[in-house]
A = this chain, B = another copy of it.
Amino acid sequence: MRLARPLEKLIRELEKLPGIGPKSAQRLALHILRQPAVEVRELARALVEAREKTFPCSRCGNLTEIDPCWICTDPQRDESIICVVEQASDVMAVERANYQGKYYVLNQNPRLMDSGSLEELNLQGLLNFIKGGRVQEIILATNPTIDGELTARYIARVVKSFGVRITRLAHGLPVGGDLEYTDELTLRRALEGRREI
């Protein structure tokens, strides 16, 4: 099938995005051709500006357009707690849960099982936070995967000597989930973590 070249090019570009197959790319491209030119330029500008004006905060690693980021400099936030996460998207998830402390974003793909290179994790910023003297607790909120677990344990080992409290997010049943369809490992953890009511 031959298409107008700029349309074909757009479809090919859209197909590169995750979760966008050939059909969706075509549908999106045709939708875009129907929009006012000014709105399409707006989208194009948003893409370029997001890419060029956001960067990891030099203190915590979270995505920001000012350095240090607003979370690092916000006096309202509890600087005695630091939540360590793998990615900026994890910050968004924890923020939605109404967490009020600070963050440390590893920004490294923990494919530790492959490389065994835990030592490559950049923990300098985290150690700087701790040495600042106000940190009382570090929540290791890496993913509940094997890699996430290994990362958490490694970090726990590194920071243990500083005498701060080190915690890990609880495992258990997802709220609104179904006992019957919960995998046995999660259920075992939920049993181990049971609480008095």
Interface, chain A (partner B; CB < 8 A): 1-7, 9-10, 12-14, 16-19, 24, 26-33, 35, 37, 39-54, 63-65, 69-71, 87-89, 92, 95-96
Tell me whether A10 and B47 are in contact (CB under 8 A). yes
Among A28, A43, A96, the one with the most B-chain Cβ atoms within 10 Å of its Cβ is: A43
Which residues of chain B are near A44, meaning CB under 8 Å? 43-45, 47-48
Tell me whether B27 and A51 are in contact (CB under 8 A). no
State in angstroms the CA–CA spacing of A37 and B29 once bound together: 21
Tell me whether A50 and B32 are in contact (CB under 8 A). yes
State in angstroms the CA–CA spacing of A117 and B29 once bound together: 29
Which residues of chain B are near A49, meaning CB under 8 Å? 6, 9-10
State in angstroms the CA–CA spacing of A44 and B44 once bound together: 4
State in angstroms the CA–CA spacing of A143 and B50 once bound together: 40
Tell me whether A54 and B9 are in contact (CB under 8 A). no
State in angstroms the CA–CA spacing of A89 and B7 once bound together: 11
The 4 A-B pairs of least Cβ separation, nearest first, read: A10-B50, A44-B44, A40-B51, A13-B46
